[in-house]
Amino acid sequence: MSELENSMSTDEFEYWKAFSTLEPISILREDALGANICKTIIDSQVKNETTLKDFTLWQRDLYVDEEPDIEQTMRNIKAVFGALSAKP
């Protein structure tokens, strides 16, 4: 067994699964962060109407389904944390 399997509790593992669902860490997220920096620099120097999509390398809509609306996101959050708070 690996060190992580020996040292992480089931509760902590469930927390990280929920976090990954709510805040996925991927190349798309890194791309968005880099695009935001580029857009901020351009916007500070030029009066231009640019969007984040103008600066992204990866087109999110090719890889990810349509984003859920706010109500769906709230239902997802409640479901994940509701499951975490339920003690077996």
Query: Who's near 54: CB < 8 A, 6+ residues apart?
Result: 35, 39
Alpha helices in the chain (DSSP H): 3-7, 10-22, 27-45, 60-63, 70-85
Structure tokens at 70: 């706010």
Does the reported pTM lie above 0.95?
A: no
Structure tokens at 12: 């902590």
Residue 8 sits at φ, ψ, to 5 deg, of -95, 130
pLDDT tens sequence for the chain (88 residues): 577 778 888 888 888 877 777 776 777 778 888 888 998 999 899 887 888 888 888 775 655 556 667 887 788 788 777 777 766 5
